[in-house]
Amino acid sequence: MAAQPETVEQVRAVTEQKYKYGFTTDIESDVAPKGLNEDIVRFISAKKNEPEWLLDWRLKAFRVWQTMEEPQWAAVSFPPIDYQDAHYYAAPKKKDGPKSLDEVDPELLATYAKLGIPLREQEILAGVEGSEGKSPAIAVDAVFDSVSVATTFKAKLEEMGIIFCAISEAVQKHPDLVKKYLGSVVPYTDNFYATLNCAVFTDGSFVYIPKGVRCPMELSTYFRINQANTGQFERTLIIADAGSYVSYLEGCTAPQRDENQLHAAVVELVAMDDATIKYSTVQNWYPGNAEGVGGIYNFVTKRGACRGRNSKISWTQVETGSAITWKYPSCILQGDNSVGEFYSVAITNNFQQADTGTKMIHIGKNTRSTIVSKGISAGKAQQTYRGLVKILPKAEGARNHTQCDSLLIGDQCGAHTVPYIESRNRSARVEHEATTAKISEDQLFYCRQRGIAEEDAVSLIVNGFCKEVLKELPMEFAVEAQKLVGISLEGSVG
């Protein structure tokens, strides 16, 4: 169900605070030595007790990665990253993986509670008395630094044949599925950051929805970087078999640190005939301080393959965090009549940089794609929408509509739109609309004359500007996203 942006009370409640997820958790961690080499790749694989084929795959990726160079085409700038100066594995110390939530370190659970993640919903899962009759809304997989620490509602989902677990667990329990689909959308040779991820990914979520099953609840993963000098390289793989439906949510936070931390995730989605995957992200990694010190480098590869006829993949993202965002959730529309959607809100303030957009690759007949991108830039931030719409010769009757709107706050920020369109089929129709606007002094004065304080007015106006995208978010995330819009633009006026 889509939510109506009912913004301002919530926004007001939180606008006083700065980055509220900036705490660290004091927890004993198992950390790999700094540096990156084949031994580290073997170390990670061994820690995860992985089968030979997976280690081989990682090593192949690592060897390719060594020959690759960082992409330079994005409109972002940062000092060179020393890939040898980071830890590639950090895990909360535990003898064995937790069997149930009761075995999870209470410090960790407290951290997630602080983040507002309802892990404790396992009480309902466990059938605690009085919990019946109220059907759960979200199942959560929590990833702390590199390791999945808890997955809720597993048993209930299993009854329906749905697999929702840590990808490391899926490697052990469902190796055939993982082997078949891992790297099938984003190959290990894909790009510098994705290839690095293939070599050193530590955990992430795995979802399989069997034929004809409509997943009854939102599946959600919360990612948290805690350890200093750690990269987070999670890997998510979602497979929706024929006629199935799943809505998946992803949220991210990290402590406030002065050094930059690298986050290079890969997400692969596969939708078979008549299947639908809805993937929503609220990305709130630490953006650095107001002077541009610290923050997460969010270099992420997300791609979905609409393999089957009439399949649909819909990406919705609200990107407010990170010092630098480099991210292009894409759809490969292979099946006839398949549909790809990309709804994005990206907010950059202070010294944040974002180069984000999507790729829609039309291969099948009558494939359709919709792109709605809302970029808001404030402070000294720079933001670029970069999108590719590619219609291949066999994509008879393909359609695309792209709408890119930018909103500027102040006069020191920038917004750029770089659409690439390649059509090789005469029957295809591709439309691109773009606007750039500033929050007008008229609008601000009008709001203030009605009693709304300036920052709340900005939040209200920006939420209005983003409404088309925010309404695509599941209810559980919409409220949080609206709050974030307010928080991330703090201090941008006046």
Partner 1 sequence: MIEIKNLHATVDGKEILKGVDLTIRPGEVHAIMGPNGAGKSTMSYVLAGRDGYEVTEGSVTYYGKDLLALEPEERAAEGVFLAFQYPVEIPGVANTTFLKTAANAIRKHRGEKELDAMQFLKLLREKTKALNMTDDMLKRAVNVGFSGGEKKRNETLQMAVLEPKFAILDETDSGLDIDALKIVAEGVNALRSPERSMLVITHYQRLLDYIVPDYVHVLSAGRIVKSGGKELALELEKNGYRDFGASEAA
Please tell me whether residue 478 binds partner 1 under the rule CB under 8 A: no
d(CA 229, CA 262): 9
- Single out the residue of 140, 318, 466, 487 in contact with partner 1 (rule: CB under 8 A): 466
Q: How far is the CB of 4 from partner 1 (least distance, A)?
A: 7
Q: Torsions phi, psi of 11, nearest 5?
A: -60, -45
| Complex with partner 1: residue 12 or 432, whichever CB lies closer | 12
Within residues 403-462, the interface with partner 1 by CB under 8 A covers 440-443, 445-454, 456, 460-461
Please tell me whether residue 134 binds partner 1 under the rule CB under 8 A: no
| Complex with partner 1: residue 5 or 474, whichever CB lies closer | 5
Please tell me whether residue 70 binds partner 1 under the rule CB under 8 A: no
CB atoms within 10 A of CB 4: 10
Q: Kindly report the CA angle at 376 between 373 and 380, in degrees rounded to 5? A: 140
| Complex with partner 1: residue 53 or 446, whichever CB lies closer | 446
Residues 272/308, Cβ–Cβ less than 8 Å: yes
CB atoms within 10 A of CB 73: 8
Please tell me whether residue 489 binds partner 1 under the rule CB under 8 A: no
Within residues 7-36, the interface with partner 1 by CB under 8 A covers 7-9
Q: How far is the CB of 435 from partner 1 (least distance, A)?
A: 10
Part in contact with partner 1 (CB under 8 A); list of ranges 5-13, 23-31, 172-180, 274-282: 5-13
Residues 44/62, Cβ–Cβ less than 8 Å: no
Q: How far is the CB of 283 from partner 1 (least distance, A)?
A: 22
Please tell me whether residue 112 binds partner 1 under the rule CB under 8 A: no
Structure tokens at 196: 């690095």
Please tell me whether residue 396 binds partner 1 under the rule CB under 8 A: no
d(CA 425, CA 390): 10
Please tell me whether residue 1 binds partner 1 under the rule CB under 8 A: no
Q: How far is the CB of 407 from partner 1 (least distance, A)?
A: 10
Structure tokens at 156: 């209930």
Q: How far is the CB of 376 from partner 1 (least distance, A)?
A: 12
d(CA 412, CA 18): 21
How many secondary structure helices (H) and strands (E) does the chain include?
A: 13, 23
Closest CA to 87 of 297, 233, 223, 287: 233
Q: How far is the CB of 450 from partner 1 (least distance, A)?
A: 4
Q: How far is the CB of 5 from partner 1 (least distance, A)?
A: 7
Residues 21/225, Cβ–Cβ less than 8 Å: no
Across 86-95, b (16+ Cβ under 10 Å) vs e yields bbbbbbbeee
Binding interface with partner 1 (CB under 8 A): 4-9, 440-443, 445-454, 456, 460-461, 463-468
